[in-house]
């Protein structure tokens, strides 16, 4: 396995052209590799999803996954992406639709206030929005815009971004995350919280069969970049060996436990109760717990998790359905 398998997977997935894009994109900071893998995944037939996903994973990580007999954490997450993309998961991956579910499960107080929802960028009544707000697409990740001062917002540039995002089916962006495929794209505006804009710590609870087991902490963010520090801790707030899930710079020491930690644990347990595995993202905003999102395939199932990960056996896979349903 490793580099040779990675190259072989790239060639099988998209031929010499895709390998060329992989090399030149790194040299010239282009996005043709991403665009081509998106096209390949979107054009694939459901009966080919397993083969495509196996090759995509190999091209990304150099690791071969066995989706006929999934046993590792990575294999199980990849399997669930195409064989367990349920209607409920689709609802909860939708940043707008999930709000009603959160109200039903734990109450509206855990939600960041909503300012509006629209089907296109041109419908947004900017004159009616407050001076500060956050715009997000509901159907994917990293499709958001923080607006601390409306008077300095470049509306034509924002429109260009959102028009492109609204035309994108996020399910095919990073290896067939099919829980996103049926989401109707919308744009939502949420209340601007200075703490979030300034990089408040993000507490990501990794839950197995309704039980939180590990907390991935991300903080010390550098505004305008994807750079931050992170660490993984056990429920007793001690550093977990190997820091699984972490892909950025690591904290030297464990950050202070939030005062609302026990409430966070209770919330994560309630929200994860119906799923073999889910990551529940929460914030501590001046002592108040706020909901972030439900994530069913962190890193599209390519996180840095060892093969002997102790919680893997807790993921009991449901019955197999047709890919993409």
Percent of the chain exceeding pLDDT 70 equals 95
Q: What is the pLDDT of residue 194?
A: 84
* Alpha-carbon separation of residue 199 from 43, 68, 109, 273 (angstroms): 38, 41, 21, 29
Tell how far CA 204 is from the center of its chain.
Answer: 11
Instruction: Give ∠ CA 114-116-121 in degrees, rounded to 5.
Output: 135
Q: Quote the DSSP letter at residue 192.
A: -
Sign for the pseudo-dihedral over CA of 88, 93, 99, 104: positive
Query: What are the distances in angstroms from CA 88 to CA 8, 192, 224?
Result: 36, 28, 33
Say if residue 23 is exposed, middle or buried (CB neighbours under 10 Å; 0-12, 13-18, 19+).
exposed
Coil, helix or strand at residue 144:
strand
What confidence tens digit (pLDDT) does each residue in 151-173 have?
999 999 999 999 999 999 999 99
Which residue(s) pair with 212 in the sheet?
A: 207
Structure confidence at residue 16 (pLDDT): 96
Classify burial at 82, counting beta carbons within 10 Å of its beta carbon; exposed 0-12, middle 13-18, buried 19 or more.
buried
Q: Tens-of-pLDDT digits for all 325 residues of the chain?
A: 689 999 999 999 999 999 999 999 988 888 999 999 999 999 999 999 999 999 999 999 899 999 999 999 999 999 999 999 999 999 999 999 999 999 999 999 999 999 999 999 999 999 999 999 999 999 999 899 999 999 999 999 999 999 999 999 999 999 999 999 999 999 999 999 887 766 688 999 999 999 999 999 998 776 556 678 999 999 999 999 999 998 888 999 999 999 999 999 999 999 999 999 999 999 999 999 999 999 999 999 888 888 889 999 999 998 766 665 5
């Amino acid at each position: 396995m490793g580099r040779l398998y990675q190259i072989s997977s790239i060639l099988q997935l998209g031929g010499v052209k895709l390998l060329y894009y992989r090399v030149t994109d790194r040299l010239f900071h282009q996005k043709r590799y991403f665009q081509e893998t998106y096209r390949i995944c979107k054009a694939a037939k459901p009966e080919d999803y397993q083969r495509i996903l196996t090759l995509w994973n190999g091209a990304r990580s150099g690791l071969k996954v066995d989706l006929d007999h999934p046993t590792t954490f990575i294999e199980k997450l990849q399997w669930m992406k195409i064989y367990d993309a349920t209607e409920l998961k689709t609802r909860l991956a939708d940043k707008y639709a999930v709000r009603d579910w959160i109200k039903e499960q734990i109450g509206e107080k855990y939600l960041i206030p909503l300012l509006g929802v629209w089907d296109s960028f041109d419908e947004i009544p900017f004159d009616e929005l407050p001076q500060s707000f956050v715009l997000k697409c509901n159907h994917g990740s990293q499709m958001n815009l923080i607006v601390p001062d409306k008077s300095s917002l470049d509306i034509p540039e924002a429109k260009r971004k959102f028009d492109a995002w609204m035309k994108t089916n996020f399910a095919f962006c990073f290896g067939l995350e099919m829980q996103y495929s049926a989401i109707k794209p919308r744009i939502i505006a949420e209340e601007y919280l200075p703490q979030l804009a300034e990089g408040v710590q993000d507490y990501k609870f990794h839950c197995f069969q309704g039980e939180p087991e590990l907390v991935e902490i991300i903080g010390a963010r550098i505004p305008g970049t994807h750079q931050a520090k992170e660490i993984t801790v056990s429920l007793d707030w001690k550093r977990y060996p190997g820091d699984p899930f972490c892909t950025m710079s690591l904290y030297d020491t464990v950050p202070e436990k939030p005062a609302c930690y026990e409430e966070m644990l209770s919330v994560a347990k309630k929200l994860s109760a119906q799923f073999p595995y889910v990551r529940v993202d929460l914030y501590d905003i001046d002592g108040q717990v706020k909901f972030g999102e439900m994530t069913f395939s962190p890193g599209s199932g390519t996180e840095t998790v060892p093969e002997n990960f102790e919680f893997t056996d807790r993921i009991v896979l449901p019955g197999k359905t047709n890919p993409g349903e």
